[in-house]
Amino acid sequence: MTRLGNTLYPHWRDERANWVQRLLPVWDYKYPRQLAFVRTLAGLWYVILTAILLGYHRGETWAWLLVPSAALSFLGAWYIPRAVAAVTGSSSAS
């Protein structure tokens, strides 16, 4: 692991890194709770946009494509801070 400021984060090309460590960018290790908030807001926006599109009977295809995007945003907001906390040993992410 390498040190960046006061937060530990794994290096991208480290052979010992698991898939979560290789997948997440540096700012996910530095600001996990703030990015979880941003992901939650993005998921809410996708849900609102889906409701608007379905309410006006316009773009049903796009509306149904936004539903999985919202689900992935909410899952990322829930799991990524916990994965970062498990990797770094910090309890501030959960």
Domain residue ranges in the chain: 2-88
Give the per-residue pLDDT at 79. 86
Give the per-residue pLDDT at 6. 43
Ranges of H-type helices in the chain: 19-23, 26-30, 32-55, 60-88
Q: How far is the C-alpha of 73 from the C-alpha of 54, rounded, in Å?
A: 20
Query: What is the distance, to the nearest Å, from the Cα of residue 72 to the centroid of all Cα atoms in its chain?
Result: 8
Give this prediction's pTM.
0.71
Q: What is the mean pLDDT of the chain?
A: 78
